[in-house]
Amino acid sequence: MRQYYGYIRRGSPLIILFLVTLRCTPVRLHPQCLDFKPPFRPQQELQFCSPYKEFGCCNYEKDQDLLTKFYRIMGNFDYHGYANCASYVQELLCQECSPYAAHLFDAEDASTPVRTIPGLCPDYCAQFWKKCSSALEYLSDDPHLAKVKADQALLCQYLQLGDGDYCYPDIVNNPQLSQNLGRVHSDGEGCLHLCLEEVANGLRNPLAMVHANDGTHRFFVAEQLGLVWAYLPDRSRLEVPFLNITKAVLTSSWEGDERGFLGLTFHPKYRFNGKLYVYYSVEVGFDERVRISEFRVSSHDMNLVDHGSERVLLEIDEPASNHNGGQVLFGDDGYLYIFTGDGGMAGDPFGKYGNAQNKSALLGKVLRIDVDDNERGPLYRIPPDNPFARHRDARPEVYAYGVRNMWRCSVDRGDPRTRQGKGRIFCGDVGQNKFEEVDIIEKGRNYGWRAREGFSCYDKKLCANSSLDDVLPIYAYPHKMGKSVTGGYVYRGCEHPNLNGIYMFGDFMSGRLMSLQEDQNTGHWNYHEVCMGMGLTCAFPGLINNYHQYIISFAEDEAGELYFMSTEIPSATARSGVVYKVVDPSRRAAPGQCHYDPLPVRVKSKLIEFQPQETLTGLELPGHSQAELDPTVDWLQELIDELGEPELTTPPATTTSTRPPRPTKRKGRRRKAKHRAAAVPPPPADGAVRLAGEGHELGDRGRVEIYAGGEWGTVCDDLWTGRNAEVVCRQLGFRGALKAAKHSEFGQGWSLRILLDDVQCTGTEASLLDCKHAGLGAHNCDHHEDAGVVCGNSVESGV
């Protein structure tokens, strides 16, 4: 990739242009139900609309309703009518259960009325009209239908969809549409397409969001300055902060300051003992320290901490201002886990071999203490099975070591059915110069730092020592992908069944969202990037497909749904932090399956209603403005991110305290640099194609022009098919075609010769020239019939 770096730096207009033309196209078609939500697997098997019993938009009750409706309609027919019509009526009624119901009924596009009869393909419609047009009056009360139903042509024209390629029943027979239906969308490069919901905003470096596990389904968001805000399940926020220790917390407005309020967790029995634990930076005399304290909730307000209840459990000197750790959490064993940093500077320089490998130091460790029954006597005890409890040269609190600066750890709730994976602790450990890593924490184990960074040796001498016996990460990534890992969660929620078992995490600097999934057979963790859905993929009410770049933290709510927090300006005083909920647009849980009733919350302060501010970007619907699309800046930024900002390629003393590059929003990733990097257009080879005419600047659509025999020419073809379009789109680097445009839809290529006619592709050819066609330049059509394409990149595309 390096070799293309120079082009980008010089900002060659040629390349910028090329980047723009490669922009991925939005997709017309996506699974969506008539309630504007994703399809699901019904909890109880459908009887009537059985084609959709595995996956679709109907639950059992809806299926029974349709069955009743069916009987009511069929009551109007004699035996002969019944024999002719029953299957048609059933099929038409059941399209409400199709995973593409919104598409078939034109509900996706708010600018057109919802149909009463699903969009039908011409052949099917003709058959239906011949055999059973009398059923129309029972199926629909649309007055226009009554007018046209006597005329097959008029009727079938009326029942046709805007993009005729995806009508019923072709839509169910399209392997590309049905193949991956119900799975997480992923593009050709394996990037999972997800969407987001904005949950809270206006936050100043929100670095933790936790719940109290008390049945109220409140969530608590901590800001670096030392404030914790309580939110109700309806996302309104209490005006008075739950906790305010801004006066004690040491931080600054400097972007990338790693000091501050860093962690928060509720006691597993909070509901009964009202205890919570916080981790923050303080200045004591001339020393900087981290402090782990216990607080209690106020006895008269459940949304307020008793600020006088603080008991300091532990204070640790911090020899430098960076690498302060900050995670606190309770393991399944009921003990409090504390994740400290190595003390800072670069390369863990303290002592003989650094803090992290020195078990007598509390820095660079995972600590484990018992905070139960601490009202009298010591504030915490050492769990008897702590691995070094009886070692002379070790602090008894140490649970695991060799840690650099674990930023965000979480406990796996385990598979909802099998409990597989339950209790595992996942952490992101921020790297030094080269690699970021994700670890699973095991008792007594060495996580390698500073001997090792990721899988590679950092301190060669320590690394060569056979007594190191360190645990390797489950995944490590190099600094061209990001420079500061933010550990996440294994998804174990209810609303998005596809995501179960996926560990999702991110990178603070690059804004990259990533995922790992364990192969149950090999134990290997498979990596997939997470992209934002493009086009209609996220076109569900309330969903968005972009987020601020600086991913600070991940979270799980009381029900197990997954969130992350990021900000545009990573300063403890900038109010640009947003909490996002992760949503899988390809499948939801069956309606009612995830229902819960939060326990009531007595609110004594004012409630501030949530006002979402973010919007879906890049959505194109016919007749809608495309003005908001300006991919150029984003593209470049993304590419630069990927290549690494030049200032950032010199490793700073600390990774996370680097002043970051220009803030930006991450939109759906379109393509990776390797594709864009093929940037210098090669001289056209015979059979090369390009797009022209109105709209071609979008890169995904236009009149097809082909290079053959030393010149560019057009393709005129009144029988131009989707298969032909498919070949063109693939030649252009797209995944497939959304439309075969006929009759010079993208204008007539007057200035060029007509080079191809009568093209008949099977769809798999490498170039149009490989398809059957009339002799080069021989044609019986004119420019009125110049052919065009609309290409697409999603799994949904493909004609």
Ligand X SMILES: *[C@@H]1O[C@H](CO)[C@@H](O)[C@H](O)[C@H]1NC(C)=O
User: Do 704 and 691 contact (CB within 8 A), yes or no?
Assistant: yes
How many whole angstroms from its chain centre is CA 678?
27
**Nearest one of 49, 171, 197 to 105, comparing CA atoms:** 171
Give the contact letters, 324-353, x = binds to ligand X (CB under 6 A), - = no.
Answer: ---------------------------xx-
- Beta bridge partners of residue 206, listed in sequence order: 223
With CB under 6 A as the contact rule, which of the stretches 16-24, 148-156, 239-247, 684-692 interacts with ligand X?
A: 239-247
465 binds, among Ca ion, ligand X, none (CB under 5 to 8 A by kind): ligand X
Among 58, 93, 195, 361, binds ligand X (CB under 6 A): 361
Among 10, 80, 247, 376, binds ligand X (CB under 6 A): 247
Q: How far is the CB of 427 from ligand X (least distance, A)?
A: 22
Q: Which residue is nearest to Ca ion (CB)?
A: 448
Q: Please give the single-letter amino acid code of residue 797.
A: S
Q: How far is the CB of 351 from ligand X (least distance, A)?
A: 2
Q: How far is the CB of 726 from ligand X (least distance, A)?
A: 58
Is residue 160 at the binding interface for ligand X, with CB under 6 A as the rule? no
Place of tokens 């005083």: 573
Instruction: Output the six-digit token pair for 198.
Output: 């904005």
Is residue 649 at the binding interface for ligand X, with CB under 6 A as the rule? no
Give the contact letters, 605-644, x = binds to ligand X (CB under 6 A), - = no.
Answer: ----------------------------------------
As a three-state string, the secondary structure of 184-217 is CCECCCCCEEEEEEEEEEEECCEEEEECCCCCCC
Q: Which is nearer to ligand X, 355 or 794 (CB)?
A: 355
361 binds, among ligand X, Ca ion, none (CB under 5 to 8 A by kind): ligand X
**What does DSSP say about strands 525-532 and 192-203: parallel, antiparallel, or unpaired?**
parallel
DSSP 596-659: --PPP----S-EE---------S---TTS--TT--HHHHHHHHHHHHH--HHHHSPPSSSTTSP
Is residue 467 at the binding interface for ligand X, with CB under 6 A as the rule? yes
352 binds, among ligand X, Ca ion, none (CB under 5 to 8 A by kind): ligand X
Give the contact letters, 434-453, x = binds to Ca ion (CB under 5 A), - = no.
Answer: -------------xx-----
Among 206, 241, 454, 722, binds ligand X (CB under 6 A): 241
Among 176, 236, 246, 298, binds ligand X (CB under 6 A): 246
Place of tokens 């290079």: 707
Q: Which is nearer to ligand X, 80 or 247 (CB)?
A: 247
Cβ contacts of 624 within 8 Å, gap of 6 or more: 111
Is residue 51 at the binding interface for ligand X, with CB under 6 A as the rule? no
| CA dihedral (654, 656, 657, 661) positive or negative | positive
409 binds, among ligand X, Ca ion, none (CB under 5 to 8 A by kind): none
Q: How far is the CB of 437 from Ca ion (least distance, A)?
A: 5
467 binds, among ligand X, Ca ion, none (CB under 5 to 8 A by kind): ligand X
In angstroms, what CA-CA distances link 625 with 102, 148, 619? 22, 33, 9
Q: Please give the single-letter amino acid code of residue 395.
A: R
Query: CA 120, CA 92: separation in Å to the nearest integer?
Result: 9
Total number of residues that touch ligand X (CB under 6 A): 12
Phi-psi region of 202 (alpha: psi -120 to 50; beta: other; left: phi over 0): left
Is residue 316 at the binding interface for ligand X, with CB under 6 A as the rule? no
Q: Which is nearer to Ca ion, 437 or 584 (CB)?
A: 437
Cβ contacts of 579 within 8 Å, gap of 6 or more: 198, 199, 200, 201, 203, 206, 209, 221, 555, 563, 564, 565
With CB under 6 A as the contact rule, which of the stretches 15-23, 243-251, 644-652, 708-716 interacts with ligand X?
A: 243-251
Among 340, 358, 498, 664, binds ligand X (CB under 6 A): 358
If you compute the radius of gyration of the chain from its CA atoms, what whole number of angstroms results? 30
List of residues contacting Ca ion (CB under 5 A): 447-448
List of residues contacting ligand X (CB under 6 A): 227, 241, 244, 246-247, 351-352, 358, 360-361, 465, 467
